[in-house]
């Protein structure tokens, strides 16, 4: 079968609906993933989808493919990504698929594929599935699989099982007023009710799912999204504001004063809390994070491990290092202390509220004594898939030329890393090729405004020197931060 090879990304599958993907191709992907499972003696999987417009059609096609190669499917219906991961534990199966394109625009869709409990496909797994689709080498099953669809009371019972599981892991002793912005994504169906059961007063915003994403892509790393949350926090005199991405595994946070906390700051807060209980532990973070993250971990007696960006890579590194926690600038957080270690933004929100109640502090007071950095958000600029990796490798050469006294971290330091990072005594610059779509991301920081502005000008100028960069692109985010 002919299929766009670039939709097979480093750890999942994502493409444009009705262009890269259609029901025939998705059915073939279902057969390929089912074959992938059968090779590993796995004969059952859970399947869920988010509110994207193509979700129901692709859900049906994927399940047809999986049934054809003899996989029994437990159909979870419309859920959040973490509920698919929870469903693997609930129904005791290593197989699992979430149909979503996460924070990509409305016309994208894709597939997050499980390889076991709290484990997702890696590069070689995705390429194995790609080869099967292209060559149509699927498992020949003597009989088709069976499907058990959770509907009505069965679906409500599953949702309740998930809610009970996350709520039993926290003890929030204070009543918080919380702004919850679902961005018209899937989380509006679930999270407000869960937070109310945790004792919060919830001010809900944009809760009704709509796969057109009429107010813009639900991306909690986008300044425009977090400014909307900030405004609602101030208007309602709330203690806390949170935004979610479309499928529910990532968050963005605003404090009671309306300040946006980039997720590397939130990662540092979680690390501080965990190290109070687990001294000298290892904590994993990705290269897009501020120097602040490692400083807070080390100041609190932990070991900071920088690793490759990508939620499956961070999860795998946490397991390899026997770390208690890890996270990414994008808002994926992995708690391995009293939870399953997969990324669950619902649970991550409850954990920060629990810490605030334990300390009897505001969020602003909790982080304002951290080291000070002026830090950009994560900025995304369009770049073709077949150009972006070469550009980042070229940037590594230029970084070593332009910053001879900086510490350069690239693929020669972290194996197969897609980024080039320069660390200075007072901040860093990083540029990397995205694994989620045709774009390049950057972040930079400094400890004074003059140096910050110099680094901003450097980043903008060096990216503008590449004609391949697409500055007016639907995937572009936070470009104003380069002005």
Residue 462's CATH number = 3.30.310.50
Do 272 and 217 fall within a single domain? no
Which CATH number do you get for residue 154? 3.40.120.10
Continuous segment of H or E residues that includes residue 88:
helix 81-91
Identify whether the C-beta of residue 206 lies closer than 8 Å to the C-beta of residue 215: yes
Asked if the structure places residue 165 within a domain, the reply is: no
Asked if the structure places residue 344 within a domain, the reply is: yes
Joined tokens for residue 276? 């109070």
Do 218 and 246 fall within a single domain? yes
Residues with Cβ < 8 Å from 361, sequence gap 6 or more? none
Asked if the structure places residue 249 within a domain, the reply is: yes
Do 384 and 361 fall within a single domain? no
Domain count, the chain: 4
The residue length of the chain stands at: 483
Q: Return the number of other C-beta atoms located less than 10 Å from residue 255's C-beta.
A: 22
Determine phi and psi for 316, rounding to 5 degrees: -65, -40
Does residue 102 have an active-site annotation? yes
Do 212 and 339 fall within a single domain? no
Q: What is the pTM of this model?
A: 0.95
Residues with Cβ < 8 Å from 23, sequence gap 6 or more? 57, 58, 60, 61
Do 208 and 231 fall within a single domain? yes
Sign of the Cα pseudo-torsion (455, 456, 458, 463, in order):
positive
Domain of 121 in residue numbering reads as 5-159
Catalytic residue among 102, 119, 271, 281: 102
Asked if the structure places residue 84 within a domain, the reply is: yes
Do 248 and 299 fall within a single domain? no
Per-position pLDDT tens, the chain of length 483: 999 999 999 999 999 999 999 999 999 999 999 999 999 999 999 999 999 999 999 999 999 999 999 999 999 999 999 999 999 999 999 999 999 999 899 999 999 999 999 999 999 999 999 999 999 999 999 999 999 999 999 999 999 999 999 999 999 999 999 999 999 999 999 999 999 999 999 999 999 999 999 999 999 999 999 999 999 999 999 999 999 999 999 999 999 999 999 999 999 999 999 999 999 999 999 999 999 999 999 999 999 999 999 999 999 999 999 999 999 999 999 999 999 999 999 999 999 999 999 999 999 999 998 999 999 999 999 999 999 999 999 999 999 999 999 999 999 999 988 899 999 999 999 999 998 889 999 999 999 999 999 999 999 999 999 999 999 998 999 999 999
Asked if the structure places residue 428 within a domain, the reply is: yes
d(CA 123, CA 357): 41
Residue 279, judged by CB atoms within 10 A of its CB (0-12, 13-18, 19+), counts as: exposed
The helix, strand and coil proportions of the chain, stated in percent and rounded to the nearest 5, come to 40, 25, 40
d(CA 138, CA 192): 42
Asked if the structure places residue 168 within a domain, the reply is: no
């Amino acid at each position: 079968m002919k299929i766009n090879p670039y939709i097979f990304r480093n750890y999942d599958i994502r493409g444009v609906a009705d262009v890269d993907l259609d029901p025939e191709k998705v059915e073939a992907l279902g057969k390929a993933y089912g074959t992938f499972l059968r090779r590993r003696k796995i004969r059952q999987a859970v399947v869920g989808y988010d509110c994207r417009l193509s979700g129901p059609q692709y859900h049906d096609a994927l399940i047809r493919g999986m049934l054809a190669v003899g996989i029994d499917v437990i159909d979870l219906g419309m859920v959040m990504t973490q509920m698919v991961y929870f469903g693997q534990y609930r129904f005791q199966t290593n197989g699992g698929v979430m149909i979503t394109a996460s924070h990509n625009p409305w016309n994208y869709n894709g597939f997050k594929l499980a390889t076991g409990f709290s484990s997702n496909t890696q590069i070689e797994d995705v390429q194995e599935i790609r080869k099967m689709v292209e060559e149509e080498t699927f498992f020949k099953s003597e009989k088709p699989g069976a499907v058990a669809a959770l509907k009505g009371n069965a679906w409500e019972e599953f949702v309740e099982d998930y809610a009970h599981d996350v709520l039993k892991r926290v003890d929030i002793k204070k009543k918080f007023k919380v702004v919850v912005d679902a961005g018209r994504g899937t989380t509006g169906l679930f999270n407000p009710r869960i937070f109310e059961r945790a004792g919060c007063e919830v001010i809900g915003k944009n809760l009704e799912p709509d796969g057109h994403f009429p107010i813009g892509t639900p991306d909690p790393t986008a300044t425009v999204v977090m400014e909307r949350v900030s405004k609602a926090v101030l208007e309602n005199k709330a203690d806390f504001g949170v935004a979610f991405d479309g499928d529910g595994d990532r968050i963005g946070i605003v404090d009671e004063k309306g300040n946006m906390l980039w997720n590397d700051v939130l990662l540092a807060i979680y690390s501080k809390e965990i190290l109070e209980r687990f001294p000298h532990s290892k904590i994993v973070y990705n290269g897009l994070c501020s120097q602040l993250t490692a400083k807070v971990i080390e100041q609190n007696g932990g070991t900071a491990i920088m690793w490759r960006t990508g939620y499956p890579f961070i999860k795998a590194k946490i397991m390899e290092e026997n770390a208690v926690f890890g996270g990414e600038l994008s808002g994926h957080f992995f708690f391995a202390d009293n939870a399953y270690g997969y990324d669950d933004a619902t649970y991550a929100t409850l954990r920060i509220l629990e810490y605030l109640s334990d300390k009897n502090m505001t969020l602003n007071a909790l982080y304002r004594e951290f080291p000070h950095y002026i830090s950009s958000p994560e900025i995304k600029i369009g770049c073709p898939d077949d150009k972006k990796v070469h550009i980042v490798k070229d940037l590594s050469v230029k970084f070593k030329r332009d910053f001879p006294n900086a510490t350069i971290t690239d693929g020669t330091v972290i194996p197969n890393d897609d980024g080039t990072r320069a660390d200075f005594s007072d901040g860093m610059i990083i540029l990397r090729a995205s694994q989620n779509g045709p774009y390049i991301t950057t972040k930079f920081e400094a400890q004074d405004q003059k140096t910050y502005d110099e680094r901003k000008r450097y980043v903008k100028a060096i990216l503008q020197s590449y004609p391949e960069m697409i500055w007016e692109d639907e995937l572009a985010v936070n470009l104003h931060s380069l002005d």
